[in-house]
Amino acid sequence: MKVIADLQVHSKYARATSKDLSLENLEKYGRMKGLGLIGTGDFQHPEHNKEIKAQLKENGKGILYSKTGFPFLWQTEVSLMFSQNGKRRAVHLLVYAPNGAAADRITKYLGSKGRLDYDGRPIFGITCRDFVRDVTAIDEGVEVISAHCMTPWFGIFGSDSGFDSLKECFGDQIDKIHAVESGMSADPSMLWRLREDVNIVSFSDAHSFWPWRIGREATIFDVTGLSYDNIMNAVRTGRGLVGTIETYPEYGKYHYDGHRNCKFSCSPEETRRLKGICPVCKKPMTIGVEYRIEQLAKEKKGFEPPGAKQFYKLLPLHELIAFSIKSTLSSKKTWTLYNDMIEKFGDEFEILLKTGGSEFEKAGIDRGLIDLIMLSRSGELRIKPGYDGEYGVIEVSESGRKADAEKEGGQRSLF
């Protein structure tokens, strides 16, 4: 069975999240998106933990089901801040538990290291190496994955406080690290160049339940049955890990270098010319993911390792609609068109990945929006790159051309 999973979400108890971010809304909009499995988010937070146990029922295979039968998986995220090799480090790690008993033991461990009630993503002064050693000793099924691995501030390879390799970070615990999460400002083709011997997964890091946040990045699994062991075996071995759904890296908030307050951004080439100094304020720029990849890369652009998984670059349907009709993501006009398309075609991934142009035309979808969907599917949208916390912005297709109504796109099908 093929399952599209988003296994990095938060709860309403995490900072900078929607007050309405609930399990019910994750399910409602997850179904609309086309997801078949979602992380619980923040399972160690006392209040959210109560909600998980009250609203979801575990099936004995590490999957929790809502009353209407939607599956979740025990998941949380922690922020580790520490010093190593004479440098301040800050890394976000995703933690997965094989069952409620293991999640409770992880929660007890985390509670021994600090408070759990102030934030859904708590902060601890533990090294990544020691954290992995401790939580994997709790249960051999526990999995730890580096979140948004290239983000400047909290990515394991980030330009501000990250490491130059997984080995440098995890030391003698490196054999327990099986995957990294790509994050929005990078994609697998960029990470392949680092030559790290791990699989690549992709998740949304959703701070709200809206369809332009949840599932904007996801991982496609093909497993014999839905269980925690089957999902994590795919993460660990790559067998059953079909590929990933990524946003365009330029759409991410840290792809290029620059300063948001100065409204200045630039490419890595320009950054080198400027010696990393913002021409507006004369202070060091925030160095983005593309620059950092070039610093760490062991291979040239275009390198593809044996067994590399296919991935799709897509933008959320709300983004395409809003651009097409010159509106905003959350406007009534955008929502009306979005809901109409969901009613006609089933879910968002069905629309973004599978529906043919002629089917859109028969349903009366505007030609301009059809073009955007097809160009997004083929990886041919042009995006003004995001930087220093600002999302990238759609400009138009390459050379402004229209897509063929039946175009499948240049990205090989994952289905």
Strand-pair category, 71-73 with 37-39:
parallel
Structure tokens at 39: 């992380």
CATH of the domain at 41: 3.20.20.140
- pTM of structure: 0.95
Residue 303 clears pLDDT 80, i.e. is over it: yes
Residue 338 within any structural domain of the chain:
yes
The pLDDT value recorded for residue 392 is: 97
Domain presence at residue 409: no
CA–CA distance, 164 with 249 (Å, rounded to integer): 20
Number of domains in the chain: 2
Q: Give the pLDDT confidence score for residue 223 in this predicted structure.
A: 98
pLDDT digits (tens, 9 = 90+) for 76-88: 999 999 999 999 9
Residue 291 lies in a domain: no
- C-beta atoms surrounding 18 within 10 Å: 17
Cβ distance 274 to 280 under 8 Å?
Answer: no
What are 162-186's pLDDT values in tens digits? 999 999 999 999 999 999 999 999 9
Domain shared by 102 and 195, yes or no: yes
- Residue-number span of the structural domain to which 367 is assigned: 317-384+395-400
Residue 227 resides in a domain: yes
Let me know whether 240 and 349 are in one domain.
Answer: no
Per the domain annotation, does 257 fall within a domain? no
Dig out the tokens for 386 from the structure.
């995001």
**Contacts with 284 (C-beta within 8 Å, 6 or more apart), sequence order:** 276, 277, 278
**Which residues are registered as beta bridge partners of 393?**
384
Do 74 and 200 belong to one domain?
yes
Final residue belonging to a domain, choices 210, 225, 250: 250
Q: Quick check: is 211 in a domain?
A: yes
Among 234, 250, 266, the domain boundary falls at 250
| 405 pLDDT above the threshold of 50 | no
Report if residue 306 sits inside a domain: no
Question: pLDDT tens-digit profile of 241-283?
Answer: 999 999 999 999 999 999 999 999 999 999 999 999 999 999 9
Domain boundary among 212, 233, 250: 250
Q: 218 and 111 in one domain?
A: yes
Residue 262 lies in a domain: no
How would you label 45-64 residue by residue, b for 16+ Cβ within 10 Å and e otherwise? beebbebbeebbebeeebbb
Query: What pLDDT digit, counting tens, does each position of 132-144 carry?
Result: 999 999 999 999 9
180's CB contacts (< 8 A; 6+ apart) are 145, 146, 149, 156, 166, 191, 196, 198, 199, 200, 201
How far is C-alpha 336 from the geometric centre of its chain's CA atoms? 27
144-159 pLDDT, tens digit per residue, is 999 999 999 999 999 9
Tens-digit pLDDT profile for residues 95-127? 999 999 999 999 999 999 999 999 999 999 999
The average pLDDT across 45-59 equals 98
Mean pLDDT value across the chain: 95
Q: Both 94 and 189 in a single domain? A: yes
